Amino acid sequence: MMKKRLVDEAAPLAEGGRGFSFPLPTQVEGQNARGAEFSEATILMFINHQGTTFNLKSPVAIGTRLKLIIDLPEKLAEDKALKMVIKGRVVMIEMKRNPAAGQKVTVHFDSRYIIKPDAS
């Protein structure tokens, strides 16, 4: 895999910082590398208080701002569906050998986030 990264912000996430490695369904929204809006479903590979890593088929660039809508486990809220909405910036991209498989993206979170009931 080829890597591109914004070194200072990606290092704590990419080098196995403390966090969780369990799949959380997530909707990613933002602009792709061509400037067009996109919305894509994915599964988080890793998450901690600084950021997250996931696979994405839509091409994005370093520095791109993304909005993540993360499905939280129902056990956190008495079996009610909750979503965490958080924004961040792409700090690292790992290209896959097969371009059709997309890329592995690392996002550094902004300091603010929202947890809200699922509206569906």
Torsion of CA 23, 46, 115, 103, to 10 degrees: -90
Total count of domains within the chain:
1
Q: What is the pLDDT of residue 25?
A: 95
Domain span at 23: 2-117
At 8, which helix (H) or strand (E)?
helix 7-14
**Residue 78 to residue 99: CA distance in whole angstroms:** 41
- Among 8-17, 30-39, 41-50, 55-64, the least confident range: 8-17
- Give the HSE-up count for residue 104: Cα atoms under 13 Å, Cβ half-sphere: 17
Distance CA 48, CA 91 (A): 15
pTM, two decimals, is 0.79
Lowest-confidence segment of 11-25, 36-50, 66-80 by average pLDDT: 11-25
CATH number at residue 40: 2.40.10.220
Q: Which of 63, 57, 49 is nearest to 18 (CA)?
A: 49
